[in-house]
Amino acid sequence: MSDSQVLGLFPPGSVVDHGMLSVGGCRLDDIAAEFGTPVMVVAEDAVRQRARDYLAAFRSRWARADVAFASKAFPCTTIQRLASEEGLLLDVAGGGEIITALAAGADPARMLLHGNAKTDEELELAVAKGVGLIVVDNFDDIDRLERIVEPGHRQACLVRVVPGIEADTHAAVATGHAGSKFGLLPEDARVAIDRIRRSRVLRCDGVHTHVGSQLLDAEQLAAAVAPVAALGSFDVYDFGGGLGVRYTYADQPPEVDVYAQTMIDKARGLVPADARIIVEPGRSMTATAACTVYRVTTVKRGKVIHVAVDGGMGDNLEVSLYGQRFEATLVDRLGGGESVTVVGRHCESGDQLIDVVPLDNPAVGDLLAVPVTGAYCYTMSNQYNGARRIPVVFATGGDARLVVRRDTWADLLARDVELP
């Protein structure tokens, strides 16, 4: 595997600097020395450029196009602030993401609240803080909102519709099929739309749909346009996110321009020309902008060569939950070498980061980098086996700054009420 092929999976602008992998102008060995390992490194400029690319791709093809960052992909306040600074809306799923978005300084009027099981507390928070759009997922959402929204006010809503599409992705991230827990089938969506239109405190601005996540075929995403457009004319049509990214050397996701062109081509003639179109990228906004750096703690040579690192499913659950394939390299010896299995430190056989990946003579103390960890890894980080959740470092122009600190040992006890 050549250096250029390996670098192709790391954040744009990554280079080899005097034999060492460098991200955002910062050598990964320097970052590891300053912040310890494991550590997630985010190339800030790559996230900003991705946001600009998304806006340009859609707004150049549709007059009233908006892009909302799906916060659940990376609900870090610094990421949410960055997305807001670049002109993106924020898709928030639940009260916690509202709180972090507000802490990031985001305008609540430019937020969309999602969730298939919203509580009274979350809806009260959204209404009190002035969240711009609440995506109604069920009739119970309407019941709750009609109790919560005070007379004389109108809460803008979108109705989430099940488009009836079987997505070519992992079952756990498929959301557009008839059996999905999300949204309403078209016949029920019509009832919900009518009910909201008759409400004294709610306003139906439009409809929402989502096919699934990590889709590598733009046509599958565009297939949701027709069933949603068939529900009538609205001011807003939100087609969700779901564009896949390149996790492995073999993956070939569509470029953002291709995705935008495919979606807009499908929308023309089906969606009113003066309507507002929203898309909600999450994974495809941040995944490729980050990598995670580990230190090798053990190399066990037998029937399988196990290379164990100081992290694992505590900082990357994508492998265990979704069977997602990742690649890896030693930071000072890119590509090539013997086939090994990279495993984590947790007491579980399922704590395997990468099965069969070539590493160049790995040894204890080596630094190993896994690219494309900028989506859902931070989101699902945990303290399994008392592990401390890892820090997030932003790198840009040769400067590295800490935006999320590593857990301390005290953090492991912070929520206990009774201590000896």
Residues annotated within the binding site for pyridoxal 5'-phosphate are 242, 280-283, 376
Distance CA 89, CA 109 (A): 9
Neighbouring C-alpha atoms within 13 Å toward the C-beta of 400? 22
The contacts of residue 66 (CB under 8 Å, 6+ apart) are 58, 89, 276, 277, 278, 279
Q: Are strands 305-309 and 338-343 parallel, antiparallel or unpaired?
A: parallel
Query: 347 catalytic, yes or no?
Result: yes
DSSP 212: B
Closest CA to 331 of 367, 294, 359: 367
In SS3 terms, 318-332 reads as: HHHHHCCCCCCEECC
The secondary structure of 382-397 as a DSSP string is: --GGGPPPPPEEEEET
- Known binding-site residues for substrate equal 283, 322, 348, 376
- Known binding-site residues equal 242, 280-283, 322, 348, 376
Distance CA 186, CA 113 (A): 21
Q: Which one of the listed residues 76, 157, 291, 347 is annotated catalytic?
A: 347
Q: Are strands 111-114 and 89-93 parallel, antiparallel or unpaired?
A: parallel
Catalytic residues: 347
